[in-house]
Structure 1
Amino acid sequence: MNVLIRIGMGFCLLSMLACNSPSADNPTHGSVVITSDESLQPMVESIYKAYEGVYPRTKFNVIFKPEEEAIALMLRDSARLVFSTRQLNEREKAVFTKEKIKYKSEFIATDGIALIVGRQNSDSLITTAELNGIFQGQITNWEQLKRSNQRGPIILVFDNNNSSNLNFMLSQFKVKNLSRIKIFTVNSNKQVIEYVRQNPTALGFIGVNWISDGDSPITAELSKNLRVMGVSEKPNPVSVDDFFQPFQKNLGLKTYPLRRNVYVISREAHSGLGSGLINYIMRDVGGLLIEKSGLWPAKPYVREVVLENK
C-alpha cells in the first residue's frame, strides 16, 4: 500500500510541475505576458479582450511601453510576444541567434501616423516637403507654411523619446540633427491629444487607432476639438483632392504618405496561448477587430452574404 501511495504522490507532483512549467499554457487555457508599443494600445486591447471573451480560461497580462522598451522586454523573455511597428534589427536578431531561439514575425496591419492640431488652428493641410522642412529645422513657424493662418513657433509633440511615432518620423525624413527641432515629449498618445487641444501652436503625432474607432466612447471623447491634417506627397498640390488623411481606405490604397506596417513578433517555442492569439488575428475575426480600430488588416475578415430570390 505504501508503494501505491508513493506512486500516487509522484504523479501529483509531476502534475503540479507541469502546471507551473512554461509550456503549461495552450491556445485555450493559461496566462501569458505580452507587450506592445503604446501607440497601438486601442487596437491591441480590443483584440486580446475579445480573445479572452471567447476563451474565458485565458488571461493576457499586457504591458504597454514605448516601442524600444516593449521589444526589449520580449528579448529578455519578460514577455512572450510584442506588437510592434517595425521588424527586429540585426542587433536584436543576434540575441535570438545566440540563444538558439527561432522567433516568428507576422505582418498584421497597416497603420498610420495621424498629424493633429487644435480646433482653433484652421490649417489642416500640409505637404511632405513642408514636413521635411520642419524636421530639418528649415521651417520653424506656422507662418512659413503655405496654407497656414496660425502664427507662432511650431511645437512638435510626441508621446515618448523612445516611441515608434518619433522614430518613424525621424527615419522618414532622415533627421540627423535634433538640436534644430523644437520637440516636446509627454508620456502617452492620450497626453499628446490633451496637449494639442490646449496649445494652438502644437502639432501632435499619434497612432491613428487612438481616434479612429467610431464605436468607442473614449475615441469620441479624445477626438473632440481636434483637426486631423491632410498630407500630400505632391510638392505643389493644386486642390484639396491631392491631400489625404489617415482614413482606413487611404491606408489600404497606400495614398496616405505616413503609413507603416504593424507586426506581432513571438518568441514562443510551443503551440501556446501566444500562438493562439496570432492565429486569431490572422485566421479568425482578428482582422475584423483591426478594421474596426481604423487600421487596414493584412488579412481582411471575410464576410459571407447570402442572397435569396423569393
Structure 2
Amino acid sequence: MIRNTLVSVCLLTGLLACSNEKALDNPSRGSIVVTADESLRPLVTQLTSAYSGIYPDAHFTVVFKPEQEAINQMLKDSARIVFASRPLRPNEQAVLNQKKIKGATTKIATDGVALIINRANTDSLITMSQLQGIFAGQISQWSQLKGGNQPGPITLVFDNDNSSNLDFVLTKFNVKDVKGLRIFTTRSNREVIEFVRKNPSALGFIGVNWISDGDEPLTAELSRDLRVMGVSDKPNPEKRADYYQPFQEDLGMMRYPLRRPVYVLSRETHPGLGGGLVNYVVRDAGSLIIYKLGLWPTIPYNREVNLTK
C-alpha cells in the first residue's frame, strides 16, 4: 500500500510539473520568443514594447529574420509566435500536425510593399504591367519606362534572398527563375534604403511601415532623398489619380496593387503570453499602433465618445 501511495504521489507530482510547465506564462506574465520578418521590424517593435509597458512582467525576446527563417524557427519550437506576410503552407502546417499542435493564424493588418527610388530619378510612376515586364526580363533599362530620366539598367534591390518582400513580389509576378534579372540583396530594409539613396539607378522594395510613421524621427531620416513610387493596375493610366501609393487609405480601400496581409502565426497550446499579445493587437489599443504606423488594422479600434451638456 505504501508503495502504491508513493507511485500515486510521483504520478501526481509529474502531472503537476507538466501543468506548471504549461503555466509558466499567461497573457500578462512570462517570457517568450517572438520571430518576425525584418520588413515588419518597426511594427513588431512598437507592438511588443507597448504590451510590455502595460504588463511589466511580460517579456518578449524578438528575433528578426528573413520570413522563411522566422517561420522555421517557430516550427522548430524555438519561438512561440511569428509575424509574417503569409499563413503556413500545407507542408509547414504538417509539422505542427505531427506534434498534435493545432496552431492559430490571425490576420492583424494590411501592409504594403513600397517601391522607392532615388530623388534624382524623376520617374515616380509605374504600372503593374511595366513591373511584370521588368520581372519577365522584357524591360531592363530606365529609358524603357515613360518619363524616365536615368540612363542605364534598372537594379532591383531587396533586403534578403528569403525575405517576405522578395517572396511576395516573385509570387505576384509569377517569377520562377531570377537568373536573368538584375537583383541585388542587402541584409535589411534599412540597407535597401541606404543603397537606393546612393544609387539613382536602383529600384528598392521595402515594407511600408519603415517609412510611414509620421511621428517617428527615424522615418523622416530614412525618407530623406527618396521618392515613393505610385503604382497603377491600369495598363494605360490616363491621369495621376490612376496611381496609388502604399499609404493607409489606399491600403484600407484596397487600391494599392502591392498590398499584402500581416499575420501572427502561433504554436501556443495554452492561454499564454502569445495569445495575450494577439488579443491586444486585434481587440484592444494595439490597432491604434497599427494606425500610427500607416497600416490598416483588420479590426479598427472602437473609440467611444460621451458628450455631455
- CA-to-partner distance for each residue in 1:161-192, whole Å, 9 max, x for gaps? 00000000000000122112100000000000
- The residue that corresponds to 2:3 in the other structure is none
Deviation at 1:159, TM superposition (A): 0.1
Distance between the aligned counterparts of 1:226 and 1:240, measured in 2?
A: 19
Distance between the aligned counterparts of 1:61 and 1:20, measured in 2?
A: 21
- The residue that corresponds to 1:58 in the other structure is 58
Distance between the aligned counterparts of 2:153 and 2:167, measured in 1?
A: 22
Letter in 1 for 2:136: Q
SS in 1 for 2:23: helix
Distance between the aligned counterparts of 1:305 and 1:123, measured in 2?
A: 45
Deviation at 1:220, TM superposition (A): 1.2
- The residue that corresponds to 1:125 in the other structure is 125
- The residue that corresponds to 2:86 in the other structure is 86
- The residue that corresponds to 1:206 in the other structure is 206
Distance between the aligned counterparts of 1:19 and 1:270, measured in 2?
A: 10
- The residue that corresponds to 2:104 in the other structure is 104
1:235 to 2:273 alignment = no
Deviation at 1:219, TM superposition (A): 1.0
Distance between the aligned counterparts of 2:303 and 2:151, measured in 1?
A: 49
Q: Is the 8 A contact 2:122 2:147 kept in 1?
A: no
Deviation at 1:97, TM superposition (A): 1.2
Q: Is the 8 A contact 1:114 1:206 kept in 2?
A: yes
Distance between the aligned counterparts of 1:19 and 1:31, measured in 2?
A: 17
Q: Is the 8 A contact 1:126 1:147 kept in 2?
A: no
Number of residues paired by the alignment?
297
> Which structure 1 residue ranges, 4+ long, deviate > 2 Å from structure 2?
16-23, 305-309
Task: Calculate percent identity across the aligned residue pairs.
Answer: 59
SS in 2 for 1:180: coil
- CA-to-partner distance for each residue in 1:47-66, whole Å, 9 max, x for gaps? 00000000001100000000
TM-score by length of structure 2 reads 0.93
Distance between the aligned counterparts of 1:188 and 1:164, measured in 2?
A: 12
- The residue that corresponds to 1:269 in the other structure is 269
Deviation at 1:292, TM superposition (A): 0.8
Deviation at 1:306, TM superposition (A): 2.9
Q: Counterparts in 2 of 1:1-310, with a 5 A limit?
A: 21-309=21-309
CA RMSD of aligned residues (A): 1.6
Distance between the aligned counterparts of 2:34 and 2:47, measured in 1?
A: 12
Q: Is the 8 A contact 2:101 2:267 kept in 1?
A: yes
Deviation at 1:144, TM superposition (A): 0.2
Deviates most, 158-167 or 216-225: 216-225
Distance between the aligned counterparts of 1:176 and 1:58, measured in 2?
A: 43
Unaligned 5+ runs, structure 1 = 1-9
Unaligned 5+ runs, structure 2 = 1-9
Deviates most, 299-308 or 80-89: 299-308
Q: Is the 8 A contact 1:231 1:243 kept in 2?
A: yes
Distance between the aligned counterparts of 2:23 and 2:133, measured in 1?
A: 52
TM-score by length of structure 1 reads 0.93
Deviation at 1:19, TM superposition (A): 10
Letter in 1 for 2:175: V
SS in 2 for 1:24: coil
Letter in 1 for 2:226: L
Deviation at 1:148, TM superposition (A): 1.2
Distance between the aligned counterparts of 2:150 and 2:102, measured in 1?
A: 52
Distance between the aligned counterparts of 2:176 and 2:274, measured in 1?
A: 38
Deviation at 1:18, TM superposition (A): 7.7
